[in-house]
């Protein structure tokens, strides 16, 4: 381990040795074409991320179906995307062969937008009721996930990140709220059936023996019956089930786990602590510690929610500035065994070159995330996502949104 900069130490995930302990968290950017293929804009984003030399790059949430999606311009992992995604992975490898490339696979379930797709659910959640899925339909969705994982392997990706966080279908199935008595709900065994069968099938059916399986997991959704709560009707934290889930995934071949929290549609600040109340970032540290304690030594734990710390010039209180930065906490948490790697989400939009700049001793050149959360606003508005602080194209996009809002407010005054 590099004693002064543990985040720049190498680490092994599966059979691949990574050059540093920084991971790029999955970041949906709403810039796919109408067939779910990566556009030039997406190619540019991933080219930069590859050149930025993070140890791991998780490609944003790819939907395994077309008919239930959260984003209009979302990447999809369907047969029609094989060429586009092969090209994307190839372009990333050409830019830099070192990073581990994972695809995050998802289905939106109750978070599908009824505006352009169908909202479906495993049990109607208050405010997110959709058509109730049948057992046969969930069996079919499992087939689609397995198909997407095989395609990831065929397209040259190193592995897949099965999404079990942020309130998407993976979370909807495993959370205690899913107490509907059916093949995929009620008992713990039924609620974890989908995730475990996915892992077992992929382990059996993907031919590449080095193919990596892992998941991003919401430790606590902050909702009654959400992941990490003590039962279907209480929000009180009890990590027992979530930690058993982690162990069950490890037993079925998980090589890494990404810790996360919250459900951005309902408890946004928990997933992405905001600069007004940044303190949830510390709660993520505790979740990491609990995950790490429960996990096998060889499984890599990647912690989330580090962006707000930036260079120490942040809104955390009661701290010395030199002991409040992303690099400080990354190094400290890794050296103290709280986590093995740190993931950056919003910061990766602000500066995809961060890992390389740190490796080259150019920390003073890093463009820091200001926590403005305009990227979140772009996402909510289904607009292409980027950093409006550091990239002119997105500054102009934000101005246009504001101009349209102004026009709307003006026209409402006159009606
Ligand atoms: C614009 C945007 C898109 C995101 N897309 C995804 C996604 O595709 N999959 C996912 O698991 N999390 C997604 N997240 C959450 C981030 O990966 C990350 O967990 C969160 O932002 C906290 O990390 P940070 O503090 O480094 O930003 C997204 C967040 C933002 C702001």
Q: Where are the alpha helices (DSSP H) in 183-239?
A: 188-205
**Ligand 1 in contact with 261 (CB < 6 A)?**
no
Contacts for 158 with CB less than 8 Å, ≥ 6 apart: 14, 16, 100, 101, 102, 210, 211, 212
**Residue 238: per-residue pLDDT:** 98
- Say whether pLDDT at 414 is over 70: no
Mean pLDDT computed over 210-236: 98
- Say whether pLDDT at 3 is over 90: no
**Rounded-to-integer distance, Cα 242 and Cα 291, Å:** 9
Number of domains in the chain: 1
Name which of 58, 18, 56, 42 is nearest 91 in CA terms: 42
Spacing, Cα 305 to ligand 1 middle (Å): 9
- pLDDT tens by residue, 374-396: 999 999 999 999 999 999 999 99
**Ligand 1 in contact with 347 (CB < 6 A)?**
yes
Q: Strands 16-18 and 11-13, how do they pair?
A: antiparallel
Question: Which of 25, 69, 264, when mutated, tests ligand 1's pocket best, judged by the most ligand atoms within 8 Å of its CB?
Answer: 25
Spacing, Cα 412 to ligand 1 middle (Å): 34
Spatial contact of 50 and 95, defined as CB atoms under 8 Å apart: yes
**Rounded-to-integer distance, Cα 344 and Cα 23, Å:** 6
- pLDDT tens by residue, 186-207: 999 999 999 999 999 999 999 9
- pLDDT tens by residue, 146-171: 999 999 999 999 999 999 999 999 99
The answer to whether residue 94 is domain-embedded is: yes
**Residue 408: per-residue pLDDT:** 73
- Say whether pLDDT at 234 is over 70: yes
**Ligand 1 in contact with 372 (CB < 6 A)?**
no
Largest CA distance in the chain: 66
- pLDDT tens by residue, 111-155: 999 999 999 999 999 999 899 999 999 999 999 999 999 999 999
The answer to whether residue 174 is domain-embedded is: yes
Spacing, Cα 49 to ligand 1 middle (Å): 15
Mean pLDDT computed over 242-246: 98
**Residue 131: per-residue pLDDT:** 97
- Say whether pLDDT at 307 is over 90: yes
The answer to whether residue 385 is domain-embedded is: no
Spatial contact of 294 and 217, defined as CB atoms under 8 Å apart: no
**Ligand 1 in contact with 61 (CB < 6 A)?**
yes
- Say whether pLDDT at 92 is over 90: yes
**Rounded-to-integer distance, Cα 130 and Cα 112, Å:** 9
- Say whether pLDDT at 411 is over 90: no
**Residue 415: per-residue pLDDT:** 60
**Ligand 1 in contact with 258 (CB < 6 A)?**
no
Mean pLDDT computed over 291-300: 98
The CATH number linked to 89 is 3.20.20.70
- pLDDT tens by residue, 57-82: 999 999 999 999 999 999 999 999 99
The answer to whether residue 137 is domain-embedded is: yes
- pLDDT tens by residue, 172-185: 999 999 999 999 99
Spacing, Cα 42 to ligand 1 middle (Å): 16
User: Over pLDDT 90: what percentage of the chain?
Assistant: 96
Spacing, Cα 20 to ligand 1 middle (Å): 20
**Ligand 1 in contact with 283 (CB < 6 A)?**
no
Contacts for 414 with CB less than 8 Å, ≥ 6 apart: none
pLDDT mean across residues, the chain:
97
**Residue 331: per-residue pLDDT:** 98
**Ligand 1 in contact with 285 (CB < 6 A)?**
no
- pLDDT tens by residue, 280-293: 999 999 999 999 99
- Domain of 80? 6-370
Mean pLDDT computed over 45-56: 98
Spacing, Cα 160 to ligand 1 middle (Å): 17
**Rounded-to-integer distance, Cα 352 and Cα 350, Å:** 7
Spatial contact of 166 and 218, defined as CB atoms under 8 Å apart: yes
């Amino acid at each position: 381990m590099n004693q002064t900069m543990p985040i720049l130490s190498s680490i092994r995930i599966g059979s691949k040795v990574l050059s540093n302990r920084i991971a790029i968290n999955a970041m949906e950017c709403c810039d796919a074409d109408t067939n779910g293929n990566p556009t030039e804009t997406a190619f540019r984003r991933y080219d930069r991320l590859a050149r930025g030399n993070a140890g791991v790059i998780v490609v944003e949430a790819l939907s395994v179906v077309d008919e239930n999606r959260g984003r209009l311009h979302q990447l999809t992992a369907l047969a029609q995307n094989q060429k586009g995604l092969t090209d994307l992975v190839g372009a990333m490898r050409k830019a830099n062969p070192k990073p581990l490339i994972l695809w995050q696979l998802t289905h939106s379930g109750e978070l599908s937008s009824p505006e352009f797709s169908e909202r479906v659910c495993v049990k109607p959640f208050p405010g997110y009721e959709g058509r109730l899925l049948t057992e046969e339909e969930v069996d079919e969705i499992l087939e689609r996930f397995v198909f997407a994982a095989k395609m990831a392997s065929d397209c040259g990706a190193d592995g897949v990140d099965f999404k079990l966080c942020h309130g998407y279908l993976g979370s909807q199935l495993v959370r205690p709220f899913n107490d509907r008595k059916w093949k995929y709900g009620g008992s713990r065994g039924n609620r974890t059936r989908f995730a475990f069968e996915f892992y077992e099938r992929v382990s059996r059916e993907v031919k590449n023996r080095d193919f990596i399986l892992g998941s991003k997991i919401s430790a606590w959704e902050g909702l009654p019956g959400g992941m990490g709560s003590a039962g279907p009707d209480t929000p009180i934290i009890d990590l027992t089930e979530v930690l058993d889930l982690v162990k069950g995934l490890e037993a079925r071949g998980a090589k890494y786990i990404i810790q996360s929290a919250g459900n951005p549609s309902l408890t946004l600040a928990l997933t992405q602590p905001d600069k007004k109340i940044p303190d949830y970032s510390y709660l993520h540290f505790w979740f990491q510690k609990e995950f790490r304690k429960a996990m096998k030594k060889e499984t890599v734990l990647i912690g989330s929610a580090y962006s707000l710390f930036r260079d120490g010039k942040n809104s955390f209180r009661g701290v010395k500035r030199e002991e409040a930065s992303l690099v400080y906490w990354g190094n400290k948490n890794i050296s103290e065994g709280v986590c093995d790697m740190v993931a950056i989400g919003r910061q990766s939009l602000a500066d995809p070159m961060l890992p390389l700049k740190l490796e080259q001793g150019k920390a003073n050149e890093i463009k820091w995330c200001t926590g403005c959360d305009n990227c979140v606003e772009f996402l909510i508005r289904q607009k292409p996502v980027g950093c409006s602080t550091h990239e002119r194209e997105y500054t102009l996009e934000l101005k246009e949104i504001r101009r349209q809002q102004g026009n709307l407010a003006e026209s409402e005054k006159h009606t």
